[in-house]
A and B are shown apart, each in its own frame.
Chain A
Amino acid sequence: AQSVTQLGSHVSVSEGALVLLRCNYSSSVPPYLFWYVQYPNQGLQLLLKYTSAATLVKGINGFEAEFKKSETSFHLTKPSAHMSDAAEYFCAVSYSGGGADGLTFGKGTHLIIQP
Chain B
Amino acid sequence: NAGVTQTPKFQVLKTGQSMTLQCAQDMNHEYMSWYRQDPGMGLRLIHYSVGAGITDQGEVPNGYNVSRSTTEDFPLRLLSAAPSQTSVYFCASSLNRGIEAFFGQGTRLTVV
Chain A residues with a Cβ under 8 A of chain B: 9, 32, 36, 41-46, 49, 51, 90, 96-108
Chain B residues with a Cβ under 8 A of chain A: 4, 29, 31-33, 35, 40-45, 48-50, 56, 59, 90, 92-106
> Quick one: which of A45, A90, A96, A101 contacts B42, CB cutoff 8 A?
A90
Hey, which chain A residues are within 8 Å of B4, CB to CB?
Answer: 43
**B42 in contact with A106 (CB, 8 Å):** yes
**B43 in contact with A99 (CB, 8 Å):** no
**A100 in contact with B94 (CB, 8 Å):** yes
**B105 in contact with A97 (CB, 8 Å):** no
Hey, which chain B residues are within 8 Å of A100, CB to CB?
Answer: 29, 31-33, 48, 92-94, 101-102
Q: Count CB-based A-B contacts (< 8 Å).
A: 82
**A107 in contact with B97 (CB, 8 Å):** no
**A99 in contact with B103 (CB, 8 Å):** no
B109 CB → nearest A CB, Å: 15
Is the contact region of chain A dominated by helix, strand, or loop, or is it mixed?
Answer: loop
In the bound assembly, the distance between CA atoms of A106 and B31 in angstroms comes to: 21
Scoring B42, B95, B99 by chain A CB atoms within 10 A of each residue's CB, the highest score goes to B42
Hey, which chain A residues are within 8 Å of B97, CB to CB?
Answer: 96-99, 101-102
Hey, which chain B residues are within 8 Å of A9, CB to CB?
Answer: 40
The contact sample of 23 A-B pairs, CB cut-off 8 A, is A43-B90, A43-B105, A90-B42, A96-B97, A97-B96, A97-B97, A97-B99, A98-B94, A99-B31, A99-B96, A99-B98, A99-B99, A100-B32, A100-B94, A101-B31, A101-B45, A101-B94, A101-B97, A103-B101, A104-B59, A106-B42, A107-B41, A107-B42
B53 CB → nearest A CB, Å: 15
A97 (CB) vs chain B CBs: closest residue:
B98
In the bound assembly, the distance between CA atoms of A9 and B39 in angstroms comes to: 10
